[in-house]
Amino acid sequence: MRYVMSSLSVLVLGAGALFGVAGAASAEAAPYVSARQCVAGGGQVTHSAVSPTGSICLGGEYNGRWVIYT
């Protein structure tokens, strides 16, 4: 009985680690935000030569993200 319980606990911990890693990967931040999201998050949309969209969000919750206009 003890062997069954220890095997079950190892299985549960292994599954938790597997799904925990998958959950962390899906929570990655998107590199783009809308201009509205930038301003609502306390940032300011500014021109940027390094951004592929030509604009970047400075300050606030989305600091450093590229801005798209939708």
Domain ranges of the chain: 1-29, 31-70
* Tens of pLDDT, residues 26-63: 556 789 999 999 999 999 999 999 999 999 999 999 99
pLDDT at 26: 52
Q: What whole-number distance in Å separates Cα of residue 57 and Cα of residue 39?
A: 8
The full DSSP string for the chain is: -HHHHHHHHHHHHHHHHHHHHHHHHHTPPPSEEEHHHHHHTT-EEEE-SSSTTSEEEESSTTTTPEEE--
Please tell me the pTM assigned to this model: 0.57
AA identity, residue 70:
T
Q: Is the pLDDT of residue 8 over 50?
A: no
Q: What is the mean pLDDT of residues 14-36?
A: 65
Q: What is the mean pLDDT of residues 12-38?
A: 66
pLDDT at 31: 92
